[in-house]
Amino acid sequence: MNLSELVKHRKSIRGYLDKAVEREKVMMCLEAARVAPSACNSQPWKFIIVDDRELKNKLCDGAFSGIYSMNTFCKTTPVIVAIVSDKSKFLARLGGMFRGTKYYLIDIGIAGEHFVLQAEDLGLGTCWIGWFNERAVKSILKVPQNKKIDILISLGYYDKEKMRPKHSREPMDKIASFNSY
Ligand SMILES: Cc1cc2nc3c(=O)[nH]c(=O)nc-3n(C[C@H](O)[C@H](O)[C@H](O)COP(=O)(O)O)c2cc1C
């Protein structure tokens, strides 16, 4: 698939096969994330890959119970990726304060999508997960409570037959214009 086909083919996957993902493929996704651009080249991220089945199950129980249970589909995923947001470089933080922009969130979004698109290219499914019990995730993964985990990504093989139809998107004339708003 070329890039335009790849980005059109990707969609959120919410049901996975009970099949482990090869570490080599996970490493390729991590490499794609590693080379992502970031404000002042801060690279304000750390990726924690949870592929140990027992730990992953424990993580899902903690992350997706109570008000977060809409994401219990994650229990079927063989891999959960937690992106720990690190501190940006001083200049990026200062610039961000001045501009009122959280550059680090843009940065982890770009790196995460690099990961996701590489996964797609390898025939793996993903879903961004923003709704989860962060305190429980940090405690289970031994991440200090003063750090932030803004996002998780599920990763795994999936049954292509069982995929749901693609979500629609706004038409081009609503989201883009040339030369003025
Ligand atoms: C930042 C972010 C957070 C998201 N959080 C969740 C989530 O908690 N649970 C979920 O099922 N999908 C989540 N999604 C997936 C979106 O619902 C999905 O990308 C959107 O509906 C478009 O569908 P598509 O990815 O299949 O194209 C999230 C996506 C993003 C980018």
Task: Give the closest residue (by CA) to ligand 1 atom 9.
Answer: 129
Tokens 């390898």 appear where?
A: 122
For residue 110, what is the domain's CATH number?
3.40.109.10
Indicate the residue type of 145. Answer: Q
Q: 162 lies in a domain?
A: no
Q: 15 lies in a domain?
A: yes
Q: 65 lies in a domain?
A: yes
From first to last of its 181 residues, the chain has per-residue pLDDT tens of 899 999 999 999 999 999 999 999 999 999 999 999 999 999 999 999 999 999 999 999 999 999 999 999 999 999 999 999 988 888 888 888 889 999 999 999 999 999 999 999 999 999 999 999 999 999 999 999 889 999 999 999 998 877 777 789 999 999 999 999 9
C-alpha neighbours within 13 Å on the C-beta side of residue 102? 8
Q: 83 lies in a domain?
A: yes
| Ligand 1 pocket, CB under 6 A | 11-12, 14, 71, 127-131, 151, 167
CA of 151 to the centre of ligand 1 (A): 11
Q: 176 lies in a domain?
A: no
Domains: count for the chain: 1
Q: 99 lies in a domain?
A: yes
Question: Is the separation of the CB atoms in 126 and 116 below 8 Å?
Answer: yes
Task: List all residues 6 or more positions away from 57 whose beta carbon is below 8 Å from its beta carbon.
Answer: 75
CA of 169 to the centre of ligand 1 (A): 13
Give 39-102 as a DSSP string.
GGG---EEEEEE--HHHHHHHHHHHTSGGGGGGGGGGG-SEEEEEEEPPPPHHHHHHHHHHT--
CA–CA gap between residue 123 and residue 157 (Å, rounded): 7
14 token code pair? 């919410």
Query: Residue 159's pLDDT is what?
Result: 84
Question: Which of 127, 132, 162 to probe ligand 1 with, by most ligand atoms within 8 A of CB?
Answer: 127
Q: 86 lies in a domain?
A: yes
Q: 145 lies in a domain?
A: yes
Q: Per residue in 69-94, pLDDT tens?
A: 999 999 999 999 999 998 888 888 88
CA 179 to chain centre: 33
CA of 131 to the centre of ligand 1 (A): 10
How long is the chain? 181
CA–CA gap between residue 10 and residue 123 (Å, rounded): 10
Ligand 1 atom closest to the Cα of residue 131 is 8
Range of the domain at 31: 6-157
When the pLDDT of each residue in the chain is averaged and rounded to a whole number, the result is 95
